Chain A
Amino acid sequence: MKSREPWLGLASAAGLVVMLIGDGALDVVGLLIAIAPLAYGLAATIRRRERR
């Protein structure tokens, strides 16, 4: 993943499209994909702060 985080960020776009196309369970899957980059960024920040 080193230096490739923006490409993970693009997963949000895929998640939003999945939500638009899908219905029911796919909506939830799409939302999870869409928020994954934000969650990853938050987790990485917390991890770095703990290591300091």
Chain B
Amino acid sequence: MIRTAPAARATPPPADRRRSRWFRLSLWLHRWTSVVATIPFCILCLTGTVLIFHNEIDTALGITPAAQAGESRVAACLQTLAREVPDQRVLSLGVDPIGHPGVLLAVVADPKETGFDHARLIYFNLETGQRLQGDEDPDHTFTGFLLKLHAEWFLGPVGRLLGAFIGLLVVISLLSSLVIYAPYMKKLAFGTIRRTRGARLTQLDLHNLVGAVVIGWALTVSVTGFLIGFSDVAVIAWQLTDLAKVRQEFASTPAVDVRHPPVSADRAIEAALARTPPGWGLSSVIFPGTDYTTPGHYGVLTMGSTGLDARRVNATLVDATTGQVTRQLALPSYLQAVFVSEPLHFGDYGGLPLKLLWTTCSLLTLFIVGNGAWLFFDRRRSRTLAREDLDEVA
């Protein structure tokens, strides 16, 4: 085989050589991080596009029941709960005034359970206290299946870390694209698609055009996806540090009967809400004797109603024996970062217009992932063909 040296390989001046090395490194990173992430990222884009509308899908399928918003009667819901599932304990109660107004979500499990892994959901009409139909295991619903795939790859906490790794690859690919974009586009006006000069140039132009307009959205979603991938780690870190200190401090407080705490949950909620800032409301109440509380305290989580406050969480510890607020816990910044990341990842904070923007960007991103893979393999195919031609000539 005859190997011919490139015609002009003059040594560039130091500054150019440095820039060239930086460009080559970025190009290498862009190509290989993208290739490794292509298939999982395609799956994430496809499942993510459907999950944008998970509330609408669940409601249409009757999985998440709806109710009219009205007066909250948590006590009535708890009475119904005790009557209908007397052999279970309550792990937490939650409300979602925006997504599911008028509905109380109870998480129940076997009395010996302290974690949420083997729990089931039961929905109540907050105004009437009646149980609502549709308390299927969310893991066995269509959107639950997609969420398990999207968030965990069916691998549990390990899968979440895998998702974070994929997010990291995508972030590297996107950041490197900022470096390599300009040289490719130097002699080309933005928006030009060269349709008559071969499929490769057409696809490259489309890749650069679409990539340039969705990069901001893609970076937002991949950085937040990376952070959310560490949510389990963040919660474990909080349990091992801040929560462990609180548990140690209240080690002498007697444990309460987790199925029938002396103070009911609605009284604990009232006590906590009396100490929260104006405009803040209940998000959820975690019962005593779970992995997230002490054996003798309720943990009442409250959220604001507007802007960033609607995504931040405050925790209040309420004594399950006296009903008094024991302490307001400041959640660490890494947990708050995970909470704030969620809306920026799911796009569920701006109504239908934002969901449509999310869908558009998700599908455009899916397109550039696919066409980027085509560009990569087409280039390799062309090189192989060129090498075979050279071999034949030799």
Contacts and interface: CB of A to CB of B under 8 A. Distances in A.
A8 B201 CA distance: 23
Interface in A14-41: 14-17, 19-23, 27, 30-31, 34-35, 37-38, 40-41
Interface in B161-210: 177-178, 181-182, 185-186, 189-193, 209-210
Given A41-B191, A48-B193, A9 B182 contact: no
Contacts of B42: none
Nearest to B182: A3
Contacts of B211: 6, 9
Nearest to A33: B216
B67 interface: no
Residue with the highest number of chain B CB atoms closer than 10 Å, among A8, A17, A19, A43: A19
SS of B interface (majority): helix
Interface in B198-243: 209-217, 219-220
A10 B215 CA distance: 6
A9 to B, nearest CB: 4
B353 interface: yes
Nearest to A14: B216
B115 interface: no
B217 A13 contact: yes
Give chain A's interface residue range (CB within 8 Å of chain B): 35 or more
Contact of A41 (B189, B212, B217, B340): B212
Contacts of B212: 5-6, 8-9, 37, 41
Interface of A: 1-17, 19-23, 27, 30-31, 34-35, 37-38, 40-41, 43-48
A19 B354 contact: yes
A23 to B, nearest CB: 5
B182 A20 contact: no
Interface in B339-362: 340, 343-344, 349-350, 353-354, 357, 360-361
Most chain B CB atoms below 10 A, which of A10, A16, A37, A44: A16
20 contacts: A5-B185, A5-B212, A6-B178, A9-B215, A11-B216, A12-B220, A17-B344, A19-B349, A19-B350, A20-B307, A21-B307, A23-B306, A27-B350, A30-B350, A31-B357, A38-B214, A41-B209, A41-B212, A45-B193, A48-B192
B308 interface: yes
B247 interface: no
Contacts of A37: 212-216
A23 B357 CA distance: 18
Given A7-B178, A13-B219, A48 B189 contact: yes
Contacts of B54: none
Contacts of A17: 344
